[in-house]
């Protein structure tokens, strides 16, 4: 097509693509990821927190969770509104056609309503990205934006390029055209997720944005390097590496969870874990809490296996027999209670 954007698919990007396809298949069919509703919810919150934090929203992950749970949060009203808007946009993501400009504008309206004057509309003026007083990027002139977006989506619809690669190119091109007065970064990330989710709907629940936020310096650098080269090759590489890291982390989480499910603990051991759920206790306090005699035989039978399996840990690990010794849950212990709570 004449409107094909310039891009190079490097060997590294092709390698990441192969790994992503392979890992997604394992995640979808070899784990319980698709059925893990609780994890889906946690990932959605992480996605929203990370995508907004990249743009400077100061709310913590806990505060974003609280906002979405309908709780009062002491934060800037604009930032709270950003969270609610982003949730609505991601919640309706599968209703959008990734190749329809009208849907792109609808999504922008959801993302920015009540925050910017031109919500759901292409910008009417010039816009640039600045580092202090220095312009590092000037978006397309406003009169050209509608045509450029139509051409970009037209190319994407007709292109037989793999959706994973296509999603990265669209993300980059949206950032380059900069079609809106505000919300361009959020929309670029949302639209990449949308293309991925139309390829395989498990991507609705995969928080790639969290890896982009964690590596935001490299994210910005990849965009800048691609602009200097007038080719998104380095950006494609970077976003695919972030995507691969995210999927791999999700797979590892699922494998660990399945391993935890296979561990059989006695009712007494579950009581020990629950006694430590929100506090740190000594050996004597643990047995007093569960109403048992805490002799050495009981310790070896009920507590030592929990230490060995990594469900609990000592507060003074270098001195096991210290009179100050207490015990607390590890992350594995917390996860086991969450997965197997009775």
Strands 312-314 and 134-138 turn out to be unpaired
Residue 258 predicted with pLDDT over 90:
no
pLDDT of residue 83: 97
Residue 260 predicted with pLDDT over 70:
no
CA 16, 98, 91 angle in degrees (round to 5)?
95
pLDDT of residue 262: 60
**What phi and psi, each to the nearest 5 degrees, are found at residue 145?**
-60, -50
pLDDT of residue 129: 63
pLDDT of residue 335: 81
Distance from C-alpha of 283 to C-alpha of 41, rounded to nearest angstrom: 36
Residue 18 predicted with pLDDT over 80:
yes
Per-residue pLDDT tens for 79-129? 999 999 999 999 999 999 999 999 999 999 999 999 999 999 999 988 766
End-to-end Cα distance, the chain: 60
238 contacts: CB under 8 Å, gap ≥ 6: 218, 219, 222
Place of tokens 């009417």: 124
Distance from C-alpha of 164 to C-alpha of 99, rounded to nearest angstrom: 15
Provide the b/e sequence for 166-195 (b: ≥16 CB within 10 Å).
Answer: bbbbbbbbbbbbbbbbbbbbbbbbbbbbbb
- Classify 329 as helix, strand or coil: strand
Residue 135 predicted with pLDDT over 60:
no
pLDDT of residue 75: 83
Residue 293 predicted with pLDDT over 90:
no
pLDDT of residue 139: 73
Distance from C-alpha of 116 to C-alpha of 118, rounded to nearest angstrom: 6
With the C-alpha atoms ordered 64, 68, 72, 77, is the resulting torsion angle positive or negative? positive
Instruction: State the chain's mean pLDDT as an integer.
Output: 91
For residue 294, count CB atoms less than 10 angstroms from its CB and return exposed for 0-12, middle for 13-18, buried for 19 or more. middle
Nearest to 275 by CA among 244, 234, 228, 312: 312
Distance from C-alpha of 153 to C-alpha of 163, rounded to nearest angstrom: 13
Residue 1 predicted with pLDDT over 50:
no
């Amino acid at each position: 097509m004449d409107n094909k954007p310039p891009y190079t698919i490097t060997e590294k990007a092709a390698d990441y693509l192969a790994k992503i396809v392979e890992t997604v298949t394992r995640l979808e069919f070899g784990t319980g990821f698709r059925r893990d509703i609780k994890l889906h919810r946690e990932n959605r919150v992480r996605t929203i927190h990370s995508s907004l934090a990249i743009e400077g929203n100061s709310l913590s992950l806990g505060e974003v969770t609280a906002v979405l749970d309908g709780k009062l949060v002491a934060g800037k009203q604009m930032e709270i509104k950003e969270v609610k808007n982003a949730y609505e946009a991601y919640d309706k993501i599968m209703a959008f056609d990734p190749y329809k400009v009208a849907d792109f504008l609808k999504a922008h309206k959801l993302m920015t309503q009540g925050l910017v004057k031109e919500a759901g509309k292409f910008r009417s003026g010039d816009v640039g990205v600045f580092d202090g007083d220095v312009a590092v990027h000037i978006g397309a002139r406003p009169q050209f934006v509608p045509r450029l977006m139509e051409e970009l989506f037209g190319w994407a619809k007709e292109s037989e390029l793999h959706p994973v690669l296509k999603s990265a190119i669209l993300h980059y091109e949206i950032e380059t055209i900069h079609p809106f007065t505000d919300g361009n970064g959020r929309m670029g990330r949302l639209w990449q997720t949308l293309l991925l989710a139309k390829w395989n709907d498990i991507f609705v629940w995969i928080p790639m944005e969290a890896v982009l936020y964690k590596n935001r310096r490299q994210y910005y650098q990849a965009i800048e390097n691609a602009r200097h080269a007038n080719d998104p090759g380095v950006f494609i590489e970077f976003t695919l590496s972030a995507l691969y890291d995210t999927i791999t982390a999700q797979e590892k989480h699922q494998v660990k969870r399945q391993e935890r499910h296979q561990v059989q603990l006695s009712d007494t051991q579950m009581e020990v874990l629950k006694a430590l759920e929100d506090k740190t206790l000594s050996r004597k306090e643990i047995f007093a809490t569960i109403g048992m005699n805490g002799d050495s035989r009981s310790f070896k039978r009920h507590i030592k296996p929990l230490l060995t399996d990594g469900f609990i840990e000592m507060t003074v690990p270098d001195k096991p027999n210290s009179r100050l010794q207490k015990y607390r849950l590890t992350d594995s212990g917390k996860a086991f209670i969450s997965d197997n709570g009775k």
